[in-house]
Amino acid sequence: MTILLSTLNARYAHASLGLRYLLANMGDLQARTQIREFVIGAKTADVVEKLLEQKPQIVGFGVYIWNVEETTKVVAMLKRVSPQTVVVLGGPEVSYEPEQQAIVQLADYLITGWGDVSFASLCRQILDGPQPLMKIHAGVQPPLAEIAMPYALYADEDIAHRILYVEASRGCPFKCEFCLSSLDKTAWPFDLERFLAQLELLHARGARLFKFVDRTFNLNIKSSLRIMQFFLDKLAATPDDPVFAHFEVVPDHLPDALKDAIARFPAGTLQLEIGIQTFNPQVQALISRKQDDSKAAENIAWLCRHSHAHLHVDLIAGLPGEDIDSFAAGFDRLVALQPHEIQFGILKRLRGTPVIRHTLTYGLVFDPHPPYTILATDRIDFSSMQRLVRFARYWDLVANSGRFAHTLPRLLAAAPFGNFMAFSDWLYAKTDATHRIAMDRLAGLVAEWLRARGMDAGEINKLLSTDYAGQAPKPTRATAVAENANAALPQRQARHIAA
């Protein structure tokens, strides 16, 4: 074994699609290449020891916003104990501003951008000569038809225990400035018949959880319908062994044909991730985001009323030009539509994204350390931003967890953002914590808050007993998959660079 491909995933459940693309495209070097995946939080020395067990000549690391700090430690130790091992980096985190990064200085080579075919080419030069003269190599973007698909490289253990990431297309035609996909010129589809054949093989091997990483699944409606029909056919053929599919969709582009297909999915088999981000038209224009808000809201409402799809809708706080009142208005508007989950995200400055151009004009202050979260803007000071961060965490615990489904409406009442912010401030003052709050303690705190707001103790106990004692509907398969998928939220913004 000559070459190792490695990364630190956010969770074990997240099998790396990028590493499998690289292995699939190694050509004559594939037999000499293996994948070794780890999970963030692993002890650095243990990772290095396992990487060096087979004395590889080359180790390639996939570097992302969520693993760059730990990967830097791994590379530093690896080069200390085995300086002859060649380290090659790739991935979205190191594809931009590389000169500023310690991990790039530690490594031997870096491939920026697409790594599907460029990594194998670089490895051949390292092994057979002539030796590469440059440290940084721009990845070649080949036609998608020339890229070998990676899906056969999902192991049986992956199929049995992990989420399988798949993509019917790469790229995005939209230019939202907070997202790395804004740098794409367009979206490129894989050959649909070839892709569906790969899904067929995965399903035949027992695969049932499919997470599409396409930025805009419903960009080409004909292709979307073909893919949805694939899953509907499987559901009809094996209703006792259902498949589950996760798609990211553009909220204002749901023609009737697509709605009809979505409505045919039974409960627990389909999740739709919908990026609203902001309902403020001025902010949308500022960050180059095109969105018909009325149509988007109408479509979300339709999906809630007429489909069984689990809806996960994203909002981002801290965008340039948006203050708390504007964000609160958008939040309340979204709560009124009643999606199953509202992912309250805080803006992050992904390396290379154009949002940085607003730094001076709108007073954007970002944490210099990953994940580069916004700390303040000219509209939201640091203290207020910290309140929003805590709001987001408590919202996950109380609302998105699904454990307080009956109690939550009473917490929110007529002013969802304001009421939950007041609860969030009180909860933090009471606990001085945003993590490791035991669920029984959280239930007690919710009860205490509602009593202090004048609610009858008997009514509170009835609501919480319905929720907390497990009488509410159990989380669906969709919820379980969403919890896993959401653990690596930045991946959805950076996933199209393979290495």
- Residue 34: count of CB within 10 angstroms of its CB: 16
The verdict on whether omega for the bond into residue 371 sits within 30 degrees of 0, i.e. cis, is yes
Please report whether residue 485 resides in a domain.
no
Q: Please tell me the predicted confidence (pLDDT) of residue 52.
A: 97
Domain match, 408 and 367 both: no
In this prediction, what percent of the chain has a pLDDT beyond 90? 90
Residue 473 has pLDDT above 80, yes or no: no
CA 13 – CA 9 distance, rounded (Å): 8
Q: Please tell me the predicted confidence (pLDDT) of residue 95.
A: 97
Domain match, 251 and 180 both: yes
* pLDDT digits 0-9 by tens, 195-208: 999 999 999 999 99
Domain match, 267 and 355 both: yes
Confidence of residue 214 (pLDDT cuts 50, 70, 90): very high
Give the pLDDT mean for 361-381. 97
Please report whether residue 126 resides in a domain.
yes
Residue 482 has pLDDT above 60, yes or no: no
* pLDDT digits 0-9 by tens, 290-301: 999 999 999 999
Residue 478 has pLDDT above 80, yes or no: no
Please report whether residue 455 resides in a domain.
yes
Give the pLDDT mean for 64-78. 98
Domain match, 289 and 164 both: yes
Of 96, 122, 145, the domain-final residue? 145
**CATH classification of the domain holding 187:** 3.80.30.20
Please report whether residue 393 resides in a domain.
no
Q: Please tell me the predicted confidence (pLDDT) of residue 184.
A: 87
Domain match, 304 and 422 both: no
Please report whether residue 239 resides in a domain.
yes
For 464, what's the count of Cα atoms within 13 Å in the CB-facing half-sphere? 22
- Residue 269: count of CB within 10 angstroms of its CB: 23
Split into its structural domains, the chain has a count of 3
Domain match, 373 and 270 both: yes
Domain match, 338 and 413 both: no
**Phi and psi, residue 8, nearest 5°:** -110, 110
Give the pLDDT mean for 149-155. 98
Domain match, 107 and 164 both: no
* pLDDT digits 0-9 by tens, 241-285: 999 999 999 999 999 999 999 999 999 999 999 999 999 999 999
Residue 167 has pLDDT above 90, yes or no: yes
Please report whether residue 254 resides in a domain.
yes
Of 117, 145, 173, the domain-final residue? 145
Chain CA centroid to CA 432, Å: 28
* Residues 404/473, Cβ–Cβ less than 8 Å: no
Instruction: Please enumerate in sequence order all residues whose Cβ is within 8 A of that of 254, keeping only pairs 6 or more positions apart, or say none.
Output: 218, 262, 299, 302, 303
Residue 355 has pLDDT above 80, yes or no: yes
* pLDDT digits 0-9 by tens, 106-124: 999 999 999 999 999 999 9
Q: Please tell me the predicted confidence (pLDDT) of residue 470.
A: 54
Residue 484 has pLDDT above 60, yes or no: no
Confidence of residue 483 (pLDDT cuts 50, 70, 90): very low
Domain match, 185 and 287 both: yes
Residue 494 has pLDDT above 60, yes or no: no
Q: Please tell me the predicted confidence (pLDDT) of residue 1.
A: 75
* pLDDT digits 0-9 by tens, 46-58: 999 999 999 999 9
Q: Please tell me the predicted confidence (pLDDT) of residue 469.
A: 66
For 172-206, b/e burial (b = at least 16 CB within 10 A) is bebebbbbbbbbbeebebbeeeebbeebeebbeee
Please report whether residue 345 resides in a domain.
yes
Domain match, 279 and 368 both: yes
Domain match, 131 and 190 both: no
Domain match, 127 and 193 both: no
Q: Please tell me the predicted confidence (pLDDT) of residue 492.
A: 38
Of 128, 145, 162, the domain-final residue? 145
Give the pLDDT mean for 417-433. 97
Confidence of residue 21 (pLDDT cuts 50, 70, 90): very high
Which amino acid does the sequence have at 1? Answer: M
Residue 64 has pLDDT above 50, yes or no: yes
Structural domain of 334: 154-378
Strands of 33-39's sheet, edge to edge? 33-39, 3-9, 58-62, 86-90, 109-112, 136-138
Please report whether residue 13 resides in a domain.
yes
